[in-house]
Structure 1
């Protein structure tokens, strides 16, 4: 951006690139946090559309683009291009995160401007950045991701538990059980070998699926005895299906959870059953809920 005989001018390519990077960053953060289906090429196209709008925005004679309703319409077009919505709930979630990320991004960018004294300004609702400080955009993006993750976790932790409950069907060796599972936002448990997410289920709900020799481990409360578990699994005909999963909790820094790889797992979302691949079922020999409101804890990746 510069001045010529008192007239301000802007380099179109820099203006487009600035806004393209900003739009893509916001869309990518929305994609990562909302878990709504999308793809990188759709995000690229959507960001390009938004950046093109920023250029036309400054062309004399296009003042109609300054309208609040046209700005909302543009954001809707960008979301429809960037994401694939199966339900209105998905659209509403992406829309909410898109604007939340935009406002947080703007706040962080202006905060960096205040501390670094770089030229970062907003003119008519469009970011104008002098000399394209890529390092500042990277720092801004990282801070926004951290803030948005913290905000989303806070929101989820304070939602009604009824909104976090899912019906889950587990199939193993021709048998089936159905459990009520609570979305546990703090459950980051992964199978150490396959790195697949682990869904923790009460033994009482899956015991009918298990071979007799595995079932006896839990009825005799030997699931914490590493040597016994390894010995029984090694002699079982299901050795390739069972796992030993280490975990850490307060008061138990070296716990072990026995688990198995089911034939199939289905999750009921928005009235439809969805098949979930690459899941390990961890067996918990106790109650997960005092009032038996749920019998399983589901990993966030499973219902994403």
Structure 2
């Protein structure tokens, strides 16, 4: 239990430092993997210590980072492992100092660990703080709705402003993907240079919004869509974009309505 808690804490710090978009579920999954392996490692005979160390300090660490980072190349995984050990040594050193050079060790042994109700309360408080932290992250994301967006089709790209529209739940009935809506004028320079519409999966879908009771909207599939907010980037390959012939913003503050599914 202690290993799981400490691994989760360290992975949360690593995710914050490296700006991973890891959910608490992925962090706990990675921490659980580390805790399970720690239990397995102590049962491995001593003459297999080299193999055990390779698995513990390289393979399992890489896998934990891979779970947290979700999609990353080997270079990013190695960077993540190095950061993992730096954070581990730092946190371990701080805990050692607090335990042995302050009264923290006394209170942990004589007060906290001897009171099961207090231990349960601390665990529940930790879970509650994680839930509140996640809610605040989502609240801030929705509060700051305007994002820089780059859409790429082949060698062409367009840079625009997009807004997170919680009311945009448009789904493509053919590809079963969320559809982001963009002003046709903002995308015209790319759309007019598309020679083969089948390559971008051009089609039309019905909708019931954008000032109309019902109608159809043109949809294409871009190669990749990048969504930027401060230093964070969300990458969506083969994203669907609906072309809207009218203005979305009266003051031209944004040219695109981003589907909330893109942030999950």
Could you state the TM-score of these two structures normalised by the residue count of structure 2?
Answer: 0.48
Highest Rg: 1 or 2?
A: 1
- Higher percent of residues as helix: 2
